[in-house]
């Protein structure tokens, strides 16, 4: 049995365009049980509690996500203390591609990123980001959700 892979590009966004046709909005709270190249996170996305295991970094990563019972989520959540983040996820279609725009809350307020998942590497490489995607973050580990939850906002060099 093969482990499912996620092919995703991530971009910094200065602001959400006013004319963006937002299809959905969900609040997300996530915390990390294990960190590093093999991470395990808890996430409440809307009213759905999930456990996710990820392996790897960059454009292609292994990812397995499983639903959790609420009671299990509540028992595990305290173990993520000090390794959490909150964000609102806006989902929109841009040039035929589904884009998840994450607007961070709390200590990460002001940070906005867009993530685009792809079916294959060719589609990922062929994707031409819209102008409101300011800078690609796909290979910038300082903007991974794990690092943001552990260390906060990266310090930008002048």
Query: Which tokens sit at 27?
Result: 């609040």
- Rounded alpha-carbon distances, angstroms, from residue 90 to 24, 28, 75: 6, 11, 28
Angle at 134 between CA 57 and CA 124, to 5 degrees: 45
Tell me which residues are annotated as active site.
32
CA gap 86, 103 in Å, rounded: 9
**Closest among 113, 110, 121 to 145, alpha carbons compared:** 113
């Amino acid at each position: 049995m093969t482990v499912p892979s996620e092919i995703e590009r991530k971009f910094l966004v200065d602001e959400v365009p006013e004319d963006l046709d937002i299809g959905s909005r969900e609040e997300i709270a996530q915390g990390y049980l294990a960190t590093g190249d093999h991470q395990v996170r808890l996430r409440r996305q809307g009213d759905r509690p999930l456990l996710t295991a990820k392996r790897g970094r960059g454009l292609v990563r292994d990812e397995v996500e499983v639903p959790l019972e609420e009671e299990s989520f509540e028992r595990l959540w305290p173990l993520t203390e000090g390794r959490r983040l909150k964000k609102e996820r806006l989902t929109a279609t841009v040039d035929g591609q589904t884009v998840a725009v994450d607007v961070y809350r709390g200590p990460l307020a002001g940070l906005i990123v867009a993530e685009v998942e792809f079916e294959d590497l060719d589609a990922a490489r062929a994707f031409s980001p819209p102008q409101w995607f300011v800078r690609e973050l796909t290979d910038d580990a300082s903007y991974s959700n794990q690092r943001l939850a552990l260390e906060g906002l990266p310090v930008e060099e002048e």
